[in-house]
Amino acid sequence: MLDMPLANWRTITANSSMPLYAVLSNVSDAQAVKNYYIADGSQTPYGLYTGTPYEH
């Protein structure tokens, strides 16, 4: 795994066709999804299996 700051990953993906994925989970007290919307929230997250046979 590369040790690279998130800002670098954002720059790389913004200037290429590579997507950047983040795994957000509400199974802990960290409240990742809630904090995402507080900190940024510019993109609506969607489920990992959205659009696949495993969606339901």
What are the sequence ranges of the domains in the chain?
A: 1-56
Q: Which amino acid is at 9?
A: W
What is the model's pLDDT at position 38? 85
Q: What is the reported pTM?
A: 0.45
For residues 52 and 48, the model is more confident at 52
Please tell me the least confidently modeled range out of 1-5, 12-16, 25-29, 38-42. 1-5
Neighbouring residues of 20: CB distance < 8 A, sequence distance ≥ 6: 9, 10, 13
